[in-house]
Amino acid sequence: MKFLEKRIGRIIDLIFCLVFIPIIFVLGSMDYWIYYSPEFTYLLIAWLYVSYFIIRLFNIPKLFIERKYVFIALIIGVLICCDYILTLYRLPEVTFNAYSLTELYHRIQTASLSQTVWLMCSLVMGYAVSMSFIQELYHQLLLKKDVEFQKNNAQLAVYKAQINPHFLFNTLNSIYSLIIGTSEKAEDAFIKFIDIVKYTYTGVGHDKVALKEEIAYINNYIDLQKLRLNHHTSVDWRCDVDDENEQIPPMIMITFLENVFKYGISANKDCTVLIELSLKNGLLEFRTENRVMKRRGESRHQPVGIENCRARLDSLFPGRYTLTAEERDGLFNVYMKIQLS
């Protein structure tokens, strides 16, 4: 699909260069300008090509989707200013015996040049924006089709895989130990475990859920993980949101949680894991930080789950998210930012 999309873009550009521009030159009576002022004619031709490819390069429709209105206004403003500068050019004067006739001809010539330049530049900008809009629309349709395909063929497997089998067995063992020891925490732990399983499997049928449901899931997940931790591991969980009803994709953060409790805890060394979630004015930010407690034989490569999550974000929030994962000085940091609205 990407190959076809690029091919369509090239066809659009070729039509502009080989068909659209020549038609404009013929209709604009460029033979007169070439005869009297070839340098201006070549400058105008070059500018028409440059302005076209500037619009195509920055993709105005995509910027509009990403709500970068100031950047759009800046691009259009620069193009209009350059167009205006071209209209100030004066062609060589033609002198008649009568001064009034010379003056009249000069005015007509100036007005004609200005109008023709504006018309040509407007047509080029209109063509570039229209073709960019059509190509972006086609891109969005392909993206939507790809998302639906992934949803229909892999959504169930992806969501079910979010609950790590090790987490299930560890949790069941912890609850079993609590029951054997007649601990008062057993009932509470079992309820939280049921809530986690319920949320995981009911989330399969929903594209989005309320943020408060995801927060409740994270709370339960952390509490159950704490059952198997000793005094060496400290969990710093921070949550600050201004709208708990904001809609987000379900289980979008579970991969990062699993990695924290898989790679960042120790039974015999002091360590602290940081988990932070915030939502301000439609901007969702999630961050984890943990000291890497590698075991012998474990891979030092970035967990595959993070790359899978990146692919999911790319389908759901194209151009509206940031995801970084890096290890520095023994600390593994994950930062995710999504512009929800």
DSSP letter, residue 16:
I
Token pair 């497997």 is found at 157
Q: Which has the minimum average pLDDT: 55-69, 95-109, 256-270?
A: 95-109
Cut 0.85: pTM above it: no
Name the residue with higher pLDDT: 251 or 214: 214
DSSP H helical ranges for the chain: 2-15, 21-27, 30-36, 38-58, 60-65, 69-87, 99-161, 165-180, 185-202, 211-226, 254-263, 304-316
* HSE-up (13 A, CA, CB side) for residue 190: 10
Query: Given strand 331-339, what is the order of strands in its sheet?
Result: 233-241, 271-280, 283-291, 331-339, 321-328
- pLDDT tops 50 at residue 219: yes
In this structure, the number of other CB atoms found within 10 A of the CB of residue 139 comes to 19
The Cα-based distances of 92 to 40, 85, 111 in angstroms read: 11, 17, 14
pLDDT, residue 150, reads: 61
pLDDT in tens, 122-164: 889 888 988 888 888 888 887 777 767 666 554 544 544 555 5
34 neighbors 157 (Cβ within 8 angstroms)? no
Name the residue with higher pLDDT: 201 or 303: 201
pLDDT in tens, 231-256: 888 899 999 999 999 999 888 888 88
Q: Which has the minimum average pLDDT: 35-44, 90-99, 184-193?
A: 90-99
Buried b (16+ CB within 10 A) or exposed e, 63-94: bbeeebeeebeebeeebeeebeebeebeeeee
- Sorted by sequence, the CB contacts under 8 Å of residue 240 that are 6+ apart come out as 277, 278, 279
Tell me the Ramachandran region of residue 259: left when phi exceeds 0, alpha when psi lies from -120 to 50, beta otherwise. alpha
User: Please, what are the domains in the chain?
Assistant: 2-154 (no CATH), 174-339 (3.30.565.10)
- Sorted by sequence, the CB contacts under 8 Å of residue 24 that are 6+ apart come out as 48, 120, 123, 124
- Residue 315: Cβ-neighbour burial (10 angstroms; 0-12, 13-18, 19+): middle
Which two three-digit tokens encode residue 293?
A: 């407690």
The Cα-based distances of 56 to 6, 14, 228 in angstroms read: 13, 13, 56
pLDDT, residue 242, reads: 92
